[in-house]
């Protein structure tokens, strides 16, 4: 897909991107779960005599199973360690809130046009979406549904397939480097979200989802809310 660029003699007021499906990362794009993530992973780290600051710095955009595999050297202990962090994160999910514009944008979309692709397990994803008061996605792809997490493209390819669109006809919204790489590897157009999005390779970065509209196969981004284009 190619964004419709403005003529040089006209100031940019909006950027239009043709697309049929919209694929959203959850944490950092639709919901703010930072407090719960920090709380859960800090407790998990302390329980294992690991430095909480180092652990919390490495978890964003990764499946908990992948983080546990990096930090727990004994394979026999990984199952219990993974179950522990998954439980702690679900318990902390009540602190999750919706990010600006997420509820309004999602409810404006036709139900068969969007999906959520997250590195969290299914129970955690559903708990965070519910706590934030966001609608249940028609397609939800979680860590439980893929063999390889982000930056592998598996999740986004699966979501596009479930919606019935080729990945090249979709847009991925991401705020992590691993997630942006996953979307690009799947063949989608990637839009970064927020300050974290600026650290990704996404060509376009929006402040948040407040100014976005989608109608008849065209996603419009207001120029005033573009951080990079």
Q: Return the number of other C-beta atoms located less than 10 Å from residue 72's C-beta.
A: 17
Catalytic residue among 16, 27, 74, 216: 27
Is residue 112 among the annotated active site residues? no
Q: Return the number of other C-beta atoms located less than 10 Å from residue 2's C-beta.
A: 7
Is residue 66 among the annotated active site residues? no
Sign of the Cα torsion 166, 170, 173, 174 reads positive
User: Strand, coil or helix: what is 128?
Assistant: helix
Catalytic residue among 25, 66, 86, 154: 25
Q: Return the number of other C-beta atoms located less than 10 Å from residue 217's C-beta.
A: 12
Closest C-alpha among 170, 112, 123 to residue 26: 123
Which active-site residues does the annotation give?
Answer: 25, 27
């Amino acid at each position: 897909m190619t964004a419709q660029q403005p003529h040089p003699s006209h100031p940019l007021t909006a950027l239009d991107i043709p697309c049929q499906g919209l694929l959203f990362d959850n944490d950092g794009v639709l919901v703010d779960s930072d407090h719960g993530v920090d709380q859960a992973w800090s407790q998990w780290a302390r329980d294992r005599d690991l430095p909480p600051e180092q652990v919390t710095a490495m978890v964003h955009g990764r499946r908990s199973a992948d983080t546990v595999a990096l930090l727990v050297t004994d394979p026999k202990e990984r199952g219990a360690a993974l179950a522990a962090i998954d439980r702690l994160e679900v318990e902390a999910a009540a602190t999750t809130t919706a990010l600006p514009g997420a509820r309004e944008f999602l409810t404006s979309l036709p139900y068969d046009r969007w999906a959520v692709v997250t590195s969290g397990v299914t129970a955690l994803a559903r708990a965070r979406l519910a706590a934030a008061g966001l609608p249940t996605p028609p397609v939800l792809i979680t860590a439980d549904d893929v063999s390889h997490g982000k930056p592998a493209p598996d999740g986004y390819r699966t979501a596009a397939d479930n919606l019935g669109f080729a990945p090249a006809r979709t847009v991925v919204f991401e705020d992590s480097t691993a997630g942006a790489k996953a979307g690009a590897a799947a063949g989608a157009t990637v839009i970064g979200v927020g300050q974290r999005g600026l650290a990704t390779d996404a060509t376009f970065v929006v402040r948040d989802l407040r100014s976005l509209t989608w109608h008849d196969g065209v996603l419009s981004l207001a120029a005033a809310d573009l951080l990079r284009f």
